[in-house]
């Protein structure tokens, strides 16, 4: 009897010890998401104006991804794609939304409807469907301590907020009364302090980036003895441009090139300081070796605030700068310092990557449009060739409804609001800055890619624009293919002029040398 009790106790201790060892081996996962940060808005990617020493250090100590894409050219669908692992076309969460949120069973049509529009925008959801399991759900179920701090924008009504979508702790996200938009970067930017959830100590003149960062630091320190996952989702550097007092002054005296806004630069510096605080905390707690830290942005930079040169366009455009984002990952236990990846990766890839890193089974039916990046991160392999689809059937200040297919270095942009000029075709290998449209000279390629795009959208049951019954062909057309080209081209020519006037060689010239 005594032997049996002893044996059972020994076995129980062994199981507990193995469980504890397994927990210690699972990596912590820190996901830092910037808002509207352009691909070149960090030092390691080429900015000589913005100061990002901590993000640059993260890049040096880990892996840089030079061809990383957001899933959409605006924030809400990009974020939904990150957390669900599915293309926005598949979830029908394809656009940002004005005003309060709505349940996922409500499909709405937003945007232009005047007589100059050939099509009406596609229907879309204001929330990430409740049927979608986020990676917060999965990591929590796997025993991780999980937290979400900051901007959510995937459903701002009860039942759809991050603490009901998988994360055990969620603070600082906008609630319904906030009105569905970033009002500013101070506590009193919103009608009341409780517009930002679960921050009872928030003061009117607290800078939100600092508040969110301190919440993340406290969470890390409280979970040093178990694997944890946190999302630090900043409102920086979204409009309005608001920097902490005094921080913009040094930039007013700095040498400028195509990037030159001192307030925007100071906001980026605050974002970088946040990254530095997280890295410092991981070092002080001895957790940095087995913590995967990911830093990226939800979409391309807003062209009125920054320069994305030499890429075309910016946020809201279907050109490269609309979806190209900075991306760095550091995980000393698995990623070689100073490594780089030039393969195309996209926001849906984070979901299976986090599961794979945690030693969990991947869920291909859930993250249907993402692949694990772990083989690339560890240097053990490459990604299989795949098409990337960007579906944005809506109107913005920059463009009408469009869909994009990138495959085998060819890129097709389909415009739904322009029957006369429906396509643009680029060879990104020969023309990475989208300077030469090849649609007229390669009609067979256009047809083949258009068919491929249609089939992919059909498989995802995407919502498409529909003919506008009020369209009047005698009225001036609005937001056509040419509108997007003209707006992006004008900005690009201005940036080239600024660079020439400063006798600063462009990135293109450097690459040609």
Contacts of 283 (CB under 8 A, 6+ apart): none
How far, in Å, CA of 6 to CA of 1, rounded?
A: 9
Whole-number pLDDT of residue 509? 43
Q: What is the pTM of this model?
A: 0.92
Residue 354 is encoded by which pair of tokens? 């986090």
Indicate the pairing of strand 327-330 with strand 63-65. Answer: antiparallel
Closest C-alpha to 456, from 391, 395, 392? 391
Q: Mean pLDDT for the chain? A: 91
Regarding beta strands 291-297 and 28-34, do their DSSP bridges make them parallel or antiparallel, or are they unpaired? parallel
Q: How high is the pLDDT of residue 12?
A: 45
Q: What share of the chain is helix, strand, coil (3-state, %, to 5)?
A: 35, 15, 50
Which burial class, exposed, middle or buried, applies to 263 when counting CB atoms under 10 A from its CB (0-12, 13-18, 19+)? middle
The candidate with the shortest Cα–Cα distance to 84, out of 370, 283, 305, 300, is: 370
Compute φ and ψ for 119, nearest 5 degrees.
-130, 160
- Residues 323 and 68: their CA atoms lie apart, in Å, by 8
The model's pLDDT over 76-108, given as tens digits with 9 standing for 90+, comes to: 999 999 999 999 999 999 998 766 667 878 888
Query: In order of start, what are the domains of the chain with their CATH numbers?
Result: 25-388 (3.40.720.10), 389-512 (3.30.1120.10)
- Residue 7: beta bridge partners? none
Name the stretches of the chain with pLDDT < 70: 1-24, 98-101, 503-513
- Token pair in block for residue 209: 């980036």
Residue 282 in contact with residue 66, Cβ under 8 Å?
A: no
State yes or no: cis peptide before 237, omega within 30 of 0.
yes
| pLDDT the model gives residue 115 | 84
Asked whether 221 and 147 are in contact (CB, 8 A), the reply is: no
């Amino acid at each position: 009897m005594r032997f049996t009790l002893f044996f059972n106790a020994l076995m129980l201790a062994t199981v507990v010890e193995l469980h504890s060892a397994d927990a210690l081996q699972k990596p912590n996962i820190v996901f830092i998401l910037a808002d509207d940060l352009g691909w070149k808005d960090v030092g390691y990617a080429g900015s000589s104006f913005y100061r990002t020493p901590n993000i640059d250090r993260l890049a040096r100590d880990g892996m840089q991804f030079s061809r990383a894409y957001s899933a959409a050219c605006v924030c809400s669908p990009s974020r939904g794609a990150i957390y669900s692992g599915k293309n926005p076309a598949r979830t029908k969460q394809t656009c940002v939304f004005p005003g309060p949120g709505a349940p996922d069973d409500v499909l709405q049509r937003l945007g232009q409807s005047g007589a100059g529009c050939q099509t009406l925008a596609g229907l879309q959801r204001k929330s990430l469907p409740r049927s979608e399991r986020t990676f917060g759900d999965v990591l929590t179920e796997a025993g991780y301590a999980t937290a979400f701090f900051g901007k959510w924008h995937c459903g701002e009504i009860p039942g759809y907020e991050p603490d009901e979508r998988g994360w055990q702790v969620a603070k600082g996200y906008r609630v319904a009364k906030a009105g569905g938009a970033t009002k500013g970067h101070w506590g009193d930017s919103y009608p009341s302090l409780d517009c930002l959830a679960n921050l009872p100590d928030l003061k009117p003149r607290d800078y939100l980036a600092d508040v969110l960062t301190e919440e993340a630091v406290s969470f890390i320190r409280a979970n040093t003895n178990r694997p944890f996952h946190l999302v630090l989702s900043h409102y920086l550097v979204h409009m309005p441009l608001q920097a902490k007092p005094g921080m913009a002054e040094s930039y007013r005296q700095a040498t400028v090139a195509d990037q030159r806004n001192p307030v925007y630069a100071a906001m980026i510096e605050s974002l970088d300081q946040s990254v530095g605080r997280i890295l410092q905390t991981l070092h002080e707690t001895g957790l940095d070796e087995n913590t995967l830290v990911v830093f990226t942005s939800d979409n391309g930079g807003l062209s009125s605030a920054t320069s994305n040169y030499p890429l075309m366009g910016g946020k809201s455009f279907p050109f490269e700068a609309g979806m190209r984002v900075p991306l760095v990952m550091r995980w000393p236990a698995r990623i070689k310092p100073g490594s780089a990846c030039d393969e195309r990766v996209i926001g849906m890839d984070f979901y299976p990557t986090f599961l794979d890193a945690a030693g969990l089974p991947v869920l291909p039916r859930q993250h249907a449009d993402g692949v694990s990046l772990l083989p690339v991160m560890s240097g053990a392999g490459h990604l299989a060739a795949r098409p990337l689809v960007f579906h944005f059937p809506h109107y913005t200040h920059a463009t009408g409804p469009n869909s994009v297919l990138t495959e085998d270095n060819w890129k097709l942009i389909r415009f739904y609001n322009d029957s006369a000029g429906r396509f643009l075709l680029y060879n990104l290998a020969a023309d990475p800055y989208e300077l030469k449209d090849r649609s007229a000279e390669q009609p067979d390629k256009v047809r083949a890619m258009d068919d491929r795009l249609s089939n992919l959208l059909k498989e995802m049951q995407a919502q498409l624009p529909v003919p506008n019954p009020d369209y009047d062909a005698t009225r001036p057309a609005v937001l056509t293919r040419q509108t997007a080209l003209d707006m992006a081209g004008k900005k690009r020519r201005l940036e080239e002029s600024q660079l020439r006037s400063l006798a600063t060689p462009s990135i293109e010239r450097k690459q040609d040398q």
